[in-house]
Amino acid sequence: MLQAIGLTSAPGRDRPPVVDDLTFEAPPGRVTVLLGAPGSGKTTALRLMLELESGRGVTYFRGRPLHRIGHPAREVGVLLGDVPGHPARTVRGQLRMLCAAAGVPAVRADELLDVVGLAGLGDQRIGTLSAGMDRRLGLASALLGDPHTLLLDEPAKGLSPRERSWMHGLLRAHAAEGGTVLHTTSDPKEAAVTADRVVTIDGGRLVADQAVADFSRTRLRPRVAVRTPHAARLAAVVSREARAARRPVEVVAEDGSRLSVYGSSCAEVGDTAYRHGVPVHQLADEIGDAGPVAVPAARIPGRAAPRSASAVAISKLPPPIAVRPARGPLRPLRYELRRLFGVRTTTLVIATVLLLSAGISVLLARSGRASLPDLLVAWPDLLPLPPAAFGAGLIGALSFGDEYRYPALAAGRGTVPRRLGLLLAKLTVSSGVALLLALLSVLADAEALRLVYGKGVVGVPDNALPLAMSWIGLSVGCAWAGLLAAGVFRMAAAGVAAVLAVPVLMVPLVQKLLAGPSARSIVGLPARLRELTWLQWPYEVDRWAMAAVRVVAQPVGVALSLSLSVLICAYVFTGLRGRARW
């Protein structure tokens, strides 16, 4: 059962709260509709339940608030607005990425595509989906973790009558399995047709909490819809007989051939038309202000038939799944790999970097003044960073930048959960891509130089080991700097700016600090470190350790280390502050 108690949004300056002391319940096995006009506070109420809005009150999902549920995706499925996904990602790729986050098998994505009617559109891009397909994908995302409760904001908005019927049929099937369904709408007729219970709000306050039969009787006007070529004549005779019988009957002309008769029945209007020889082309009972929705009726075992004039067909649900209770993403490494390579951006960046690096390397070698290390990494003095290092920083920045622009783990929240496992997965994958890019760029540059100028240009440098460590450290450091900065400032542009700030701002500053003469040397540091520890590593390790120390001691290494230290502290600080807020 869903219990919302005292939901009150934070009031704005000189404005009352959008939601004010709202309390209601949504029982399991039933479809509950939150009804209200646009601007009445329906969406804000859902966001308060999901702890996405600041305010007061509490919402219990089967006795527990959302922040105390170990695995929210297992308990609550959410659909707020459009599908939060990269427009270039495929429908199947989006669901498989969310499968890794929810800890469910990848085959679950194909099952849900079949359930929501998108089985043949799995390779279509999200950005090309129509409104109806977008809502289907959103519902598939909400059902991914096999949740008990569904919270949906205007799920049928903008859909055709047939798609609307399908949507409500799937929600009815979820409720028939014992789940709790709460969705919002501004259409009273939709509420009467699809709901078991209707909660009406106005101005953020509770107006009525009724069973659907009471709602239809007290809030909607039943009517008889009549279509006849002699509408004016039939309206006159129905009104005349009602006055003679002293019955409160109202006849409203909808268009040239359609009438709406309030206060009567199909039998009475039909008898009147027959007695006066008026042909009738349509005669049906309706409620509300819109036309009838033709939906096939279905009977749910163990439940009473819907009391409204139309019933909702029950759709087929996917089979239940077993998900271990833990906070997501449950499979962060698999999630990050699918997120990174689910779009073509990463491949395009790598291909562009390799082509640009090879071209710059060939141009540098033409003058004959550049050193061999600069040729192999394509780093002229005019560029603050070699193309491969900048490409690694760009890929790292997109790791968090795309998450905040197209949120997947926290739909509707607009932020990415700062889980330690997710951060470690992003650091691991970005460093792996950076290493791959660094290696491929050196090989591509060497091959381009050999192809253009012959074998005599390319060779192995004398100090290959420290140069290789410097190149690896620069590439991985740029990737991590872009990733952490994008995570702190929540945009990819901030990550790119942080990567460029290292050579442009930090390196000149470090060079000024290290410009003075040095009175002491770090020679013998590995031996002194061995004396402080109880571990006795081989003496061959000393050479590697000194090489690493010399790399870090370079101005670029010091600048990159300082930048990463500041970004890590900022990331931890913002993560703790966000956790305290939610």
Quick one: pLDDT band at residue 300, thresholds 50, 70, 90? Answer: very low
Question: CA 524 to CA 290: how far, in whole Å?
Answer: 86
Distance, CA of 522 to chain centre: 50
Task: Return the DSSP state at 125.
Answer: B
pLDDT tens digits, residue range 450-479?
Answer: 999 888 778 787 778 878 888 998 999 999
Residues 6+ apart with CB under 8 A from 390: 353, 478, 499, 500
Q: What CATH number does domain 221-287 carry, 3.40.720, 3.50.50, 3.30.70, 1.10.10? A: 3.30.70
Is the predicted pLDDT of residue 429 greater than 90, yes or no?
yes
Question: CA 9 to CA 484: how far, in whole Å?
Answer: 33
| Rg of the chain taking only CA atoms, in angstroms | 33
Provide the pLDDT for residue 582: 41
Is the predicted pLDDT of residue 299 greater than 50, yes or no?
no
Provide the pLDDT for residue 371: 86
Quick one: pLDDT band at residue 520, thresholds 50, 70, 90? Answer: low
Quick one: pLDDT band at residue 292, thresholds 50, 70, 90? Answer: very low
Mean pLDDT lowest among 82-86, 92-96, 126-130: 82-86
Average confidence (pLDDT) over 393-399: 95
Is the predicted pLDDT of residue 46 greater than 60, yes or no?
yes
Q: Between 328 and 398, where is the model more confident?
A: 398
Percent of the chain, pLDDT > 70?
A: 82
Q: Respond yes or no on whether the N-terminal peptide bond of residue 105 is cis (omega within 30° of 0).
A: no
Provide the pLDDT for residue 426: 94
Is the predicted pLDDT of residue 412 greater than 60, yes or no?
no
Instruction: For residue 470, give both structure tokens.
Output: 């410097």
What is the full DSSP assignment across 510-537? HHHHT-SPPS---TTHHHHHHHHSS---
The H-or-E segment that residue 97 falls in is: helix 91-102
- 36: nearest Cα among 174, 195, 193, 205: 205
Question: CA 568 to CA 174: how far, in whole Å?
Answer: 44
pLDDT tens digits, residue range 93-121?
Answer: 999 998 888 888 899 999 999 999 898 89
Mean pLDDT lowest among 143-157, 159-173, 233-247, 521-535: 521-535
Is the predicted pLDDT of residue 393 greater than 90, yes or no?
yes
Q: Considering the entire predicted model, what is its pTM?
A: 0.73
Mean pLDDT comparison of 302-311, 483-492, 558-567, highest-scoring range: 483-492
Instruction: For residue 25, give both structure tokens.
Output: 């319940």
Average confidence (pLDDT) over 562-576: 84
Is the predicted pLDDT of residue 309 greater than 70, yes or no?
no
Q: Which fold has domain 2-218?
A: Rossmann fold (3.40.50)
Is the predicted pLDDT of residue 427 greater than 50, yes or no?
yes
Mean pLDDT lowest among 190-194, 313-317, 384-388, 429-433: 313-317
Domain ranges of the chain: 2-218, 221-287, 332-581
Provide the pLDDT for residue 551: 53
Provide the pLDDT for residue 13: 76
- Under 8 Å between Cβ of 558 and 552: yes
Quick one: pLDDT band at residue 540, thresholds 50, 70, 90? Answer: low
Residues 6+ apart with CB under 8 A from 30: 175, 180, 181, 196, 197
Place of tokens 């962060």: 332
Average confidence (pLDDT) over 401-425: 76
- 252: nearest Cα among 268, 266, 234, 270: 234
Question: CA 454 to CA 442: how far, in whole Å?
Answer: 16
Provide the pLDDT for residue 307: 38
Is the predicted pLDDT of residue 22 greater than 70, yes or no?
yes
Q: Mean pLDDT over all residues of the chain?
A: 82
Quick one: pLDDT band at residue 366, thresholds 50, 70, 90? Answer: confident
Mean pLDDT comparison of 5-14, 284-293, 506-515, highest-scoring range: 5-14
Residues 6+ apart with CB under 8 A from 529: 545
Partner residues linked to 223 by β-bridges: 262, 286
Positive/negative CA dihedral, 289, 292, 298, 304: positive
Is the predicted pLDDT of residue 415 greater than 70, yes or no?
no
Average confidence (pLDDT) over 492-518: 81
